[in-house]
Amino acid sequence: MSIERLVFAIAGAFVLLSVVLSQLHSVYWLWFTAFVGANMLQAAFTGFCPLAKILKALGKQSGTAFN
């Protein structure tokens, strides 16, 4: 699986998890959802994604979006 697919999968899982936790535990988990969304937005404009850098350092193969 490429870095891009892993980034999308992990971000989607984090958003879903934080929404569930906000309903079960505390509404403050929605701040985590906002953080993930803001990070995805800045990555779209800058091309810099911290998770992509971590995955690349772990040896995952890169696709074309994050170099």
Give the Cα separation of 14 and 30 in Å (integer): 11
pTM here is 0.82
Residue with tokens 């992509």: 52
Q: Kindly list the domain boundaries of the chain, sorted by start residue.
A: 3-57
pLDDT tens digits along 4-36: 899 999 999 999 999 999 999 999 999 999 999
Give the Cα separation of 8 and 4 in Å (integer): 6
* Most distant CA pair in the chain, distance: 38
